[in-house]
Amino acid sequence: MSQLESQSSLDNLQFVNRFTGQLPADPETGSRVREVSGACFSRVKPQQAPAPKLVAYAREVAQLLDISEADCQSQNFVDVFSGNQQLPGMDTFAMCYGGHQFGNWAGQLGDGRVINLGEIKNSQGEHWTLQLKGAGLTPYSRGADGLAVLRSSVREFLCSEAMFHLGVPTTRALCLLETGQQVVRDMFYNGDAKYEPGAIVCRVAPSFTRMGSFQLFPFRGELDRLKEFLDFTIRNDFPHLLDETIDLNNKSQAFEVYGKWFSEVCRTTAELMVEWMRVGFVHGVMNTDNLSILGLTIDYGPYGWLEDFNPGWTPNTTDAQGKRYAFGKQPQIAQWNLQQLANAVYQLMKEVEPFQEGLLLYNKTYNEGWQSMMAAKLGLQAYQPEDESLVNELLRVLQLTETDMTIFYRNLAEFDCETDHSNLTDEQLIDPIRDAYYKPEQLNANTIGPMANWLRHYQARIQQDGCSNVARKKAMNAVNPKYVLRNYLAQLAIDKAEEGDYSEVNELLDVLRKPYDEQPEKERFAKKRPDWARHRAGCSMLSCSS
């Protein structure tokens, strides 16, 4: 190692590893696939990548971890975050957990293609867990290979950071690397398997604990382990719920804290759902093992952005029939998942009331948050009871013809609410939002008329607030993004990356850093989905294949 590399900021990462230091480990190490009982994790090392190279990194995440930009561009960085080199203090492992998948209990799941490098404490005293997705076999790989391919890794890397800059709570992504290995995948599970370039994403979060992390222990009757894990989670991820007078070994005190903890999980989950609905994000796989107990967006698989405003749309081919995880169902699915979490922790307490209170708080938080969010999207100063009809009518009208959600709200901010439009025809009135429509041939009296009538009601409501066009536009543009990670944009970046050209990945990353700004030189990233992308693989619906 050169003198320059020996002074790398990577060598100064302070690993504290509370998870592996305070929780029970699987007595067997290594990647042999197996049922793991009585343990929260298994120690396993990443698979060696044959020829890793850097595709992109997020400088903001590097700053969180006290890693310099110079080091992000070093070979040392590539070696560490491809899994080829371990830093002092790393204690690599895969987490054990269970969960419900598509509403059915699936038993043991766990980190099947994720290997945690460990937990660090940065110079600000913050704790961050680093994990590699696509780093090889773990005991939880369940017949798969533990690897990931470039196309899914590009999507996860970009969306993790896009969501952060949109203001949506999320796990983060430090970097994306190609491994130099070819990986066999059947993208749509139709027998058309082929080799694809392998890749690894380094994901970063205060904790990767999921709702499903609490489900496996009671299913197996391991209530002591459930309490141990819950107490650990509260001490480390929810320390504000404790003070020096609280003893979690005291049953009455512990139960009070558990109730407060569940209520907080319900509240932050509701707030997350409001944010997803605000920006038009569709997760696609809201299994209980894919929802964070910190209210963060986690596990970016077959996600999508609601381009056509269709509440029944899902981006997941596996969910195409049942549409369990469609855009409009996400809030109720989150509540269902919380009920499963409640069922698990109830086995410790045998008290119903704390969980009922938490679920009621979820409903209250979501409903109030949704109303405030919709008022903000429409530029209203506050949501009034009489606004319910205005909002409901808009949600109905948006579905009359294929309407781009992102462009509609952005263009609505341009609608002049100060001028008398009584002399305008319906056709003329909708001109400011016309670009949001995908099928001009469907713009007739049955589609234009209802939207024009809604715009008249909207103008009258805005005039009640006495808000100027300038002030309303500024407020609306602060909550209605111009740039989101549309699937076709991600696919174009993937196409280039698979040819060894990473420029589009990095340009998209840069554009998505400022999703609410106009960025005139980047207008092509704000266009609605082109017709060629309507049915192309990767541009609309996707599978769980990774």
> Which residues are designated catalytic?
289
* 541 burial via Cβ count (<10 Å: 0-12, 13-18, 19+): buried
Token reading at 305: 């952005």
Could you tell me where the beta strands, DSSP code E, fall in 206-312?
A: 281-282, 304-305
- Cα 219 from Cα 343, distance rounded (Å): 10
From residue 427, alpha-carbon distances to 14, 75, 423, 449 in Å are: 63, 59, 12, 8
Cα 537–Cα 541–Cα 545 angle in degrees, nearest 5 = 75
CA 63, 67, 71, 76 dihedral sign is: negative
CB count within 10 Å of CB 249 equals 8
Taking CB atoms within 8 Å and a gap of at least 24, the contacts of 75-79 are: 75/5, 76/1, 76/5, 76/8, 76/10, 77/10, 77/175, 78/52, 78/53, 78/54, 78/177, 79/52
> Which residue, among 537, 16, 90, 5, has the nearest Cα to 317 in the 3D structure?
537
* Alpha carbon 166 to chain centroid, angstroms: 11
- Cα 134 from Cα 83, distance rounded (Å): 10
From residue 336, alpha-carbon distances to 70, 272, 331 in Å are: 46, 15, 9
Cα 241–Cα 243–Cα 246 angle in degrees, nearest 5 = 95
Which residues lie closer than 8 Å to 273 by C-beta, 6 or more apart? 330, 331, 334, 366
CA 177, 153, 135, 230 dihedral sign is: positive
Token reading at 164: 């952060």
User: Do the beta carbons of residue 357 and residue 277 sit within 8 Å?
Assistant: no
> Which residue, among 157, 49, 55, has the nearest Cα to 500 in the 3D structure?
55
